[in-house]
A and B are shown apart, each in its own frame.
Chain A
């Protein structure tokens, strides 16, 4: 075997090791984004999730002004920390609508009493039907829907305190 060829296995091994080290140090992003961005919100009409607050329908989002549609659940732990951030967004003038995923009215009411209620309307999605129709893969997740009912932005996972500025920018863009 000629000399340079001798090192090929070693180089291949080096490449494999480098690949493993790289993937272990920066894990792949496994979140699956919705392909509906830029398209109309799929038609839905959800019953109220709690007494005394209206449910949510897709037609109710076409108001000429953008909405933040937040998928949440009382059993979702990151939603608790996100609740404080949503309150701040509401204080800064963002209209927030809720979709309660696989939840019971009593549990939702207790969750809102404890962590705050930033929602104008909350629809109940007991079998994740609207969640799936939106191309959403978990809670919490938020969609910015513009005044014509077009999905402009999807935020996967809780909105962190440091991301308020970005969400406000996106809301502004959706106007």
Chain B
């Protein structure tokens, strides 16, 4: 009893090791742009930029501070009139195509397009063979 009470007190007093800064989120991190069209553009881009901290999430979804700073960067630049594609290119120049969820049309993504076609072809051949085998029976 005493032990569990002590444990509860100690747990309540313990301060977690902070992995986040003490600064508030950047201005445009969690604030929509006043211009609806610009905000829509920003949102579409943020949905396709990958968070460096929570690597399975987009920066639009992630709660990481770096993702917040990136949303701020995206909204600021779009508000200044920069094209989303230019911002994406700027980020890719820094972090590689890793940062963008949109598949590129480069040779690296060829298997992505070719494998489904190959599988479809193999499936078709299997079906044709099956039908022929049945016909022979």
* Number of interface residues, chain B, beta carbon within 8 A: 25
> B70 contacts which chain A residues (CB < 8 A)?
128, 132
Q: Identify A107's interface contact among B22, B94, B99, CB under 8 A.
A: B22
The answer to whether residues A126 and B94 also contact, given A75-B18, A132-B69, A138-B52 and a CB cut-off of 8 A, is no
Shortest distance in angstroms between A102's beta carbon and chain B's nearest beta carbon? 4
The answer to whether residues A129 and B73 also contact, given A35-B96, A75-B18, A137-B53 and a CB cut-off of 8 A, is yes
B:1-46 near A, CB below 8 Å: 17-23, 26
Shortest distance in angstroms between B75's beta carbon and chain A's nearest beta carbon? 12
B interface vs A, CB < 8 Å? 17-23, 26, 52-53, 55, 65-66, 69-70, 72-73, 91-96, 98-99
Q: Is A103 a contact partner of B94 (Cβ separation < 8 A)?
A: no
Please, how many angstroms separate the alpha-carbon atoms of A132 and B94 in the complex?
8
Q: Identify A128's interface contact among B19, B22, B69, CB under 8 A.
A: B69
Q: List 15 A-B contacts (CB under 8 A).
A: A32-B99, A35-B92, A35-B93, A35-B96, A36-B94, A75-B19, A75-B20, A76-B19, A104-B23, A128-B66, A129-B73, A131-B66, A135-B93, A137-B53, A137-B66
> B65 contacts which chain A residues (CB < 8 A)?
102, 128
Please, how many angstroms separate the alpha-carbon atoms of A130 and B92 in the complex?
16
CB-CB nearest in chain B for A134: B94
Q: How many A-B residue pairs have C-beta atoms within 8 angstroms? Tell me.
A: 66
Closest 6 CB pairs of A and B: A135-B94, A102-B21, A137-B52, A128-B69, A127-B26, A102-B23
Please, how many angstroms separate the alpha-carbon atoms of A127 and B98 in the complex?
22
Q: Is A103 a contact partner of B23 (Cβ separation < 8 A)?
A: yes
A interface vs B, CB < 8 Å? 30, 32-36, 73, 75-77, 101-104, 107, 126-129, 131-135, 137-138
Please, how many angstroms separate the alpha-carbon atoms of A101 and B52 in the complex?
15
Q: Is B21 a contact partner of A34 (Cβ separation < 8 A)?
A: no
Please, how many angstroms separate the alpha-carbon atoms of A138 and B53 in the complex?
8
Please, how many angstroms separate the alpha-carbon atoms of A77 and B16 in the complex?
12
The answer to whether residues A34 and B95 also contact, given A128-B69, A138-B53 and a CB cut-off of 8 A, is yes
> A101 contacts which chain B residues (CB < 8 A)?
21
Please, how many angstroms separate the alpha-carbon atoms of A32 and B66 in the complex?
14
CB-CB nearest in chain A for B51: A137
CB-CB nearest in chain A for B50: A32
